[in-house]
Structure 1
Amino acid sequence: MVPVAIPKDKLSKEKKQMEEKKPYNLLSIPVVKKFIQSKWYPGIFQWIVLAVFSVIVYELVAGTVDPTRNVGTSLTWVLWWPLIPIFFLVIGRFWCTICPFGKVSDIIRKTIGSNRPMPKFLRKYGLWMIDFFFIAITYSDHIWGIVESPRGSGYLLLLLVTMVVGTSIFYERRTFCKTLCFLGGLSGNYSRSGSLELRGTPDICKTCKTQSCFKGSEKAEGCPMFQFVRTMETAADCNLCGNCVKNCPNNSIRISPRVPTSELWGIKKPMLEHTFLAAVIMGIVFVQNITMVTIWQDILNAIGTVTGTDNYNVNFTVAFIIAMAIPVGLLYGTAKLATLTGGSVEKVKKNFVRFGYAIIPLDLAGHLAHNLFHIITEGKAIWYNSAVLFGMNVKRGDLAFAPASSVQLLQYIIIVIGMIGSIYTAYRIGNKGSFKALAPYYVLMVLLAVANIYLFSLPMMHRV
């Protein structure tokens, strides 16, 4: 049989099409690659953030107890907390690289750390521990008023630093960040929706003998988050620290922009821990909103008629549990409804875990919309309180950048965008199935969005 010659112009056309499909690599920009490979990255950012963090902790612990005038409170809860979901959406887990907890961990490990392997318990249950700590800290805020109390916020940060130091003395790499940090689950879930990813080139990685991305080299230590670039399929545990870029001898690493939420469409190993947290975060957003509106007292009174007490802690605990249980229950009910026609119990459980990831864009939108209220209506406090820190005599005025009505409009827009993102994610997770098959999930996303919009339509009170 005589082989058929393929015209050169056709070959070049196919080659060009293949090249066009390749994700754009930010490391192809010489100045970007050189900076990430240099000793300045990410250290220059880490030391700046650590210095600011030290000032914040000092002000929280030793400064004024008035949260409206404490610069530590303003920088933490009015600026940082509202910006953190934007960080994860735009640049993935880059915050985790420059986080002061991570830098403290690095310093401890390199000086007095014993670098023992991560305990099997944390390796197995670390994600559940992260979920637990996130829920516990949110709950504690409402019971003991951490956000409204500079001292409470300061002691919380010191407690976290103590946990960082303890784990870093005994265990290798960033064990605390990987298995205990209350932001770990949040950052992991949100960064899956993010618009940036780091990956290796499969054809190059499979021929690599050094595995220096994981093991490290004289240029930098191995991945602090225990990731092996060759098999990495998610941005959930990549901090964009650049160690693998420094260590890779074959220029296999790429950092590429991507369509937000695209990673959620094709997760190969969905995990119950991630889905549970995604649903719980939606409930926590409900709690954060409900406690700031006028109907909150009516809700407490209604719960009090059932519990037989007017104790705030008891009634809030009941409300907190119910708020978290509702999205979990709705998701499970939706998965069951979608599989009524011949679906097995195993399929219900499988779909519960798979489609839970579709809630993440709406989680992100709800978190951002809630915190938008704080940064826009209380944002000037950052300037006033920071000016006092530097000895400037600034006349205080209204703390708001814009009226609440303008904030509400932005909140509605953000929730609608999040709803569209969640609906489309469900559509892609369902492999672009029929409308009838996926309708229950679409209805769930609309229902959660409407609940958020209703709460945002009510007048909200300031917490700080």
Structure 2
Amino acid sequence: MAAVQTCTKSNIYTLLQRHPMFSHLSQEYLNQIIQLGTLKTFRADEPVVKQGETINYFFILCTGKLELSTELDIDKKIAQTLSPGDYYGEVCLLTGEPSLINITALKKSQLLLFDKDQFQQLISLTPQLNKKVVAALSSEIKRINQEIMQGKNKELALAKFITESKYSLKKLVGKSRFIKALRHQINERARDLEPVFIIGEEGTGKILVANTIHRQGPNKQQPFIVVECEELVEDDQAVKIFGSNTADTAPVRFGFLELARGGTLMLNNVESLTDNAFLRVIHYLETSREVRLILATTLKNPQEYMARRFPAIDCQALFLNAIYLKPLRERKRDIPDLVDHFLAEKQKKYGSKKKAYLTNDAFEKLLSHDYRQGNIKELAGIIDRALALSDQNKIDAEAIIIGEINQNLPGYDLFRWQSVKKLIYSGTWPVSVQFLVSCLFLLIMAGCFWAPRETASQLNSLVWFYVGPVIILTSIFFGRMACSICPFSFLANLCQRLVCLNKPVSFISKYYYVTVIFLYSLIFWFEEIFSLRTSPLLTGLLFLSLTVLAIVAAVLFKGDAWCKYMCPLGAVIAVCSTLSPVELRANTEVCQNKCQTYNCYKGGRLPGCPLTQHVMYIDSSINCKLCFRCFKNCPNNAVKLSLRPPAREIWSLVNVHWGMAAVVAAFGLMLLPFFTLHMIQAIFPTKWGLIFNVIYWLLFLVIIYFSLRFQAKSPSAKKMVPYVRLFFAFIPLIAGGHLAYQLDHNTSLHLYQLIRISGPGESIPLLDLSTLIQLFVLTAGLAGSLLCLFKVYKNSKVKVSPSLAYPLAAASYGLMVFLLLMTN
């Protein structure tokens, strides 16, 4: 062979960019790979690899064409050809076995070569390449089986490689009683080659336990192979496991049992096997111990399942050596040890020298989670993500993002329109508009204090009669767009740029719903008791108080803590935004496969998300104030502004927002005192204030009490999703109630009398324009809630009884209509 000639950096870089396996990688990773590979050129008819020759490199064909052939005695058999993008050498490199084929250049060809160490570095540098190589090697197994008998050795090497690449955890971690007992069970099971049945939820470590049993057993030097039964084609399961040799003309197909000869074969999710394949497995267990079989399932009661599935067969023998793995939520004492282990492993991956650690708030957040989505595997993902999101070695609670990844639901992406993208990129929306709104807000607030009485009264009327309904309506139709131009946020951010103490927000974030409900209740109580609609001075004081609170929050805490945890107006907008036909979401497939920077959270050309959200996990408009920073920061164009069916997120909610469910309940229940206020004033003209205050604040205390009691029980997040959806299904009716309440104070609408009855001396008004609009709004709210309830029941996997929800919605609507007609 000719000597290897090293290409220039630019040439190799160009080749990598053109290569389909590397085209998705970032420039940073390409530059690292350049240091590994070397380029070699072969002339036409020049041999590249000779059959029987030991090769110590893996190559990718960049240009040209190669011919693969085998020599059987005096005959030469052409296997196939390789085109640019194909590769070879991974099996020989991994096993040390000589090549089973000849490879010859059909024309001038260029190959990119990696030796064994470089190949391992290449895979560790590029996780996506790792997946492609593993998938390609799996495909290679099938091809070699069909081409030559010697494929058995190759399949075995590949199976080992796939198993070791996919399951990197090498030891049990933890000090709980369960782990100690589990280690003892593993020692007992590893002494012989009897079959083992491992039972546990997804991510509890079934494969790790099986591998540990194998490594401690008498045949630890023999193969350990994992078969994911749910990934096998049903018609081909038995052949894949047991192999076949049904015809002289057909190639031998080696099954996994043959590949694992003398070692251990694990059948994961064994319940996915067909009856035929399962019965053959049972028969093998009864007749052979040549291969230790370890079965694993996620079923809660596999014995009952097996008895029901195979009533004529006694399957009790399968469970004689059963191992039950507890879910992580039942052994949270192991979480600190697991966290330390994953931190150490992930830091090696990222090459960090400083030891990372979690704050107490971050640990508390991890300990409060139930890990029903993936147990230990889920915890590992959370730690990996937290390390990537944290710029320092300290990981705080904000970096612990817990929840399911949002689903890619259909919608029309408004960013297809260049005019919309230009509006955002130019800063016209929301930056310029927010500045103008803030200036207008300061003028109105100043007018409330210092303008002439008539002008101040007009400004006050403008605020209370029009701004309130407009905010609710814009939230219903455009989401939290009002928050993106909020003057309180603008002024608070200006002060935060000057000074920020960066205090922890753990207590406030944990009990944010208490703060929101209290401030909301206080404002509306203040509005009714002190008649703010007629007092510009008090309105100005209210605005000034909210501005000061927002600024104080900005100075104390980083990000928009006021908007996320405290703002009562923002909470009203957030609740109403769930009904919006506009949503900002991520293309989660792009995020999962391309994102390496987390710019939406950490920031890029602009600061990161002010609500400290990762856009991939946003499944509700509650958590997005439409500032569009994520859109501007994302280098992969993964952020979408979509039109959707209104209120769709209510029945498609993935993550639990039970704190907001408490806020929704409070917003709904607090309507009762407002709708009954005029009636109380009429019945108790001298003591109405005392009676209203007692009812109002007693109701507030009841709501807070039950909310705190509910949180103290630490409800399961997964189980709570259907019930949170139920709470959210009442949002249309609640929003309609608040809008009707706001419209009731617009005196100009009451002037338009639609129906009057002639009485003695004068006509009596029965229906005015305001009442008609209010009835329409409440009816639309009821229709929306009934639709949401129907969709929630239809889409919920956990069936919740509709027997109470529908009557409750109808009764609430009837009560509000009755009180509305009585007071008007």
The TM-score, its normalising length taken from structure 2, stands at: 0.45
286 and 45 in structure 1: CA distance in 2 versus 1, 3 angstrom threshold: same
Match of 2:638 in 1: 252
453 and 119 in structure 1: CA distance in 2 versus 1, 3 angstrom threshold: same
1:442 maps to which of 806, 816, 821:
806
Cα deviation, 1:368-410, whole Å, max 9, x if unaligned, reads: 12223334x337xxxxxxxxxxxxxxxxxxx946765222222
**Aligned partner of residue 236 in structure 1, secondary structure:** helix
Match of 1:420 in 2: 783
Matched, 1:243 2:629: yes
Kindly provide the amino acid, as one letter, of the partner of residue 429 in structure 2. Y
Kindly provide the amino acid, as one letter, of the partner of residue 239 in structure 1. K
Q: CA deviation at 1:177?
A: 1.1
Match of 2:541 in 1: 155
Tell me, yes or no, if the aligned pair for 1:26 and 1:254 is still in contact at 8 Å. Answer: yes
**Aligned partner of residue 646 in structure 2, secondary structure:** coil
Matched, 1:358 2:729: yes
Matched, 1:314 2:690: yes
1:30 maps to which of 411, 418, 423:
418
Cα deviation, 1:4-35, whole Å, max 9, x if unaligned, reads: xxxxxxxxxxxxxxxx9741100010110111
Determine what percentage of the aligned residue pairs are the same residue. 25
Q: CA deviation at 1:323?
A: 6.2
Tell me, yes or no, if the aligned pair for 1:115 and 1:173 is still in contact at 8 Å. Answer: no
Tell me, yes or no, if the aligned pair for 1:214 and 1:228 is still in contact at 8 Å. Answer: yes
Separation in 2, partners of 1:353, 1:22: 23
Tell me, yes or no, if the aligned pair for 2:456 and 2:536 is still in contact at 8 Å. Answer: no
Separation in 2, partners of 1:347, 1:228: 20
Tell me, yes or no, if the aligned pair for 1:282 and 1:324 is still in contact at 8 Å. Answer: no
**Aligned partner of residue 663 in structure 2, secondary structure:** helix
349 and 321 in structure 1: CA distance in 2 versus 1, 3 angstrom threshold: farther
Kindly provide the amino acid, as one letter, of the partner of residue 446 in structure 1. A
Tell me, yes or no, if the aligned pair for 2:532 and 2:538 is still in contact at 8 Å. Answer: yes
Separation in 1, partners of 2:663, 2:774: 22
Q: CA deviation at 1:347?
A: 12
Kindly provide the amino acid, as one letter, of the partner of residue 378 in structure 1. S
1:50 maps to which of 435, 438, 447:
438
Match of 2:75 in 1: none
Tell me, yes or no, if the aligned pair for 1:59 and 1:70 is still in contact at 8 Å. Answer: no
Structure with bigger strand share is: 2
352 and 144 in structure 1: CA distance in 2 versus 1, 3 angstrom threshold: farther
Match of 1:197 in 2: 583
Match of 1:84 in 2: 471
Matches within 5 A, 1:319-334: 319-321=695-697
Separation in 2, partners of 1:429, 1:354: 7
Matched, 1:378 2:378: no
Separation in 1, partners of 2:553, 2:701: 32
2:448 maps to which of 60, 64, 87:
60
Worse-superposed segment, 196-205 or 138-147: 138-147
Match of 1:283 in 2: 669
Q: CA deviation at 1:121?
A: 1.2
The TM-score, its normalising length taken from structure 1, stands at: 0.77
Cα deviation, 1:56-81, whole Å, max 9, x if unaligned, reads: 10121223557x96132122111111
Q: CA deviation at 1:99?
A: 0.8
Aligned length: 398
1:269 maps to which of 655, 663, 674:
655
Tell me, yes or no, if the aligned pair for 1:37 and 1:242 is still in contact at 8 Å. Answer: no
Q: Which has the larger radius of gyration?
A: 2
400 and 348 in structure 1: CA distance in 2 versus 1, 3 angstrom threshold: farther
Q: CA deviation at 1:256?
A: 0.6
**Aligned partner of residue 90 in structure 1, secondary structure:** helix
Cα deviation, 1:185-212, whole Å, max 9, x if unaligned, reads: 2122111121111011111111201111
Match of 1:214 in 2: 601
Matched, 1:411 2:787: no
Tell me, yes or no, if the aligned pair for 2:782 and 2:813 is still in contact at 8 Å. Answer: yes
Kindly provide the amino acid, as one letter, of the partner of residue 578 in structure 2. R
Separation in 2, partners of 1:299, 1:286: 16
34 and 350 in structure 1: CA distance in 2 versus 1, 3 angstrom threshold: closer
Cα deviation, 1:183-241, whole Å, max 9, x if unaligned, reads: 13212211112111101111111120111111111x31111111111111111021111
**Aligned partner of residue 254 in structure 1, secondary structure:** strand
Match of 2:532 in 1: 146
Structure 1 residue runs of 5 or longer lacking an equivalent are 3-19, 302-309, 330-345, 380-398
414 and 209 in structure 1: CA distance in 2 versus 1, 3 angstrom threshold: same
**Aligned partner of residue 511 in structure 2, secondary structure:** helix
Tell me, yes or no, if the aligned pair for 1:271 and 1:353 is still in contact at 8 Å. Answer: yes
2:681 maps to which of 272, 297, 302:
297
Structure 2 residue runs of 5 or longer lacking an equivalent are 1-141, 144-407, 706-716, 755-766
Q: CA deviation at 1:363?
A: 0.6
Tell me, yes or no, if the aligned pair for 1:56 and 1:75 is still in contact at 8 Å. Answer: no
322 and 300 in structure 1: CA distance in 2 versus 1, 3 angstrom threshold: farther
Separation in 2, partners of 1:270, 1:347: 7
Separation in 1, partners of 2:703, 2:550: 32
80 and 114 in structure 1: CA distance in 2 versus 1, 3 angstrom threshold: same
Separation in 2, partners of 1:458, 1:435: 39
Match of 1:97 in 2: 484
Kindly provide the amino acid, as one letter, of the partner of residue 425 in structure 1. C
Match of 1:430 in 2: 793
Bigger relative contact order (CA 8 A; separation at least 6): 1
Tell me, yes or no, if the aligned pair for 1:130 and 1:184 is still in contact at 8 Å. Answer: no
223 and 123 in structure 1: CA distance in 2 versus 1, 3 angstrom threshold: same
Match of 1:390 in 2: none
